Amino acid sequence: MAATPAPRSVDDVLELLRSRGGRVTSSRRVLLAALFEGGPHRTAEELAAEVQAQLADVHLSTVYRNLDELERLGVLVHSHLGHGPATYHLASETHGHLVCEQCGATLEVPEELFAALVRAARTAYGFVVDARHFAVVGRCAACAALPAGAPASAAGTSEPEPSGGP
């Protein structure tokens, strides 16, 4: 059975919701617009603030319920990027994450970077890894190059450039 492609627009998601018996509400419509128009890796609280800027009476719990429903439908993915709250991004933009524990920079990397880990976990343990859900924590190239004990600000960047692949 072929996988259903991830919805690519607010209208696609609204149609998916309707086809699965869901209701199209103002809060869902505004939340979806925020997700499609904004950048990735936003927390539920950040998304709620965007929704509440247009619909002041929408409660945070409503945003969480909508995020859960959208994730269940395959529209969203949530990720844990270090010690902070979960962040959300569209499933059509899935990727893995590397987070620098020193300066906090987050690098988005192709899911394929984790392919060997995914295969090894399945082969050795029968465990299916969802590499989109978590971040690998370590030190970015700039922070790794610093002398021990040097502040992260000495690296000169908080968003290191990817090295071009493995």
pLDDT tens, 81-104? Answer: 877 789 998 887 778 889 999 998
pLDDT at 2 over 80: no
Q: What angle do CA 126, 128, 132 make, to 5 degrees?
A: 160
Percent of the chain with pLDDT over 70: 87
The CATH number of whichever domain residue 34 belongs to comes to 1.10.10.10
Domain co-membership, 120 together with 70? no
Domain coverage including residue 138: 95-155
Domain co-membership, 14 together with 82? yes
Domain co-membership, 85 together with 102? no
- Global confidence as pTM: 0.74
Domain co-membership, 30 together with 78? yes
Question: Does residue 91 or residue 66 have the better pLDDT?
Answer: 66
* Residue that is last in its domain, among 55, 72, 91: 91
Residue 166 lies in a domain: no
Rounded to 10°, the helix 26-37/10-19 angle is 140
What's the pLDDT score for residue 159? 44
Banded pLDDT at 154 (limits 50, 70, 90): low
Domain co-membership, 112 together with 85? no
**What average pLDDT does range 27-52 have in this prediction?**
93
Domain co-membership, 74 together with 103? no
Average pLDDT of the chain to the nearest whole number:
85
Phi and psi dihedrals of 77, rounded to 5? -130, 135
* Residue that is last in its domain, among 91, 122, 139: 91
Which of 123, 124, 155 lies closest to 139 in space, CA to CA? 155
Pairing mode, strands 76-79 and 87-90 = antiparallel
